[in-house]
Amino acid sequence: MITFVSHPDQRRELRCNSDDVIRWKRPGRIEDHKGWTLDASPSGIGFLTLAEAAPQIGDRLHLRKLHGETWTTLERTVRVARADPTTNDEFVVVGCAIESR
């Protein structure tokens, strides 16, 4: 089991638990990383990903979610606000701000 250290709630909206499979990449890079969402709100998303490729604070990301058998792209700007270690050195919890349209 993996646990992570949480920070005080930094989002204004209520967070909903989420367990979606996502794919993420940084614009302009040839990469495709897997992640697992932990929570989501209208202004943010938290996900677990492998530490070896984890994005850095300030990185802009392109996110895709798996809905059934189809990948859908999140058409909003996503920026990394936090990247926190877990009790397992292989994983990092990434907290992102989703900019309003």
**CA–CA gap between residue 28 and residue 88 (Å, rounded):** 30
pTM: 0.83
> pLDDT in tens for each of the 101 residues of the chain?
444 444 444 556 667 778 889 999 999 999 999 999 998 888 899 999 999 999 999 999 999 998 889 999 999 999 999 999 999 999 999 999 998 76
Backbone angles phi, psi at 51, to 5 degrees: -65, -35
Q: Are 18 and 41 in contact (CB under 8 A)?
A: no
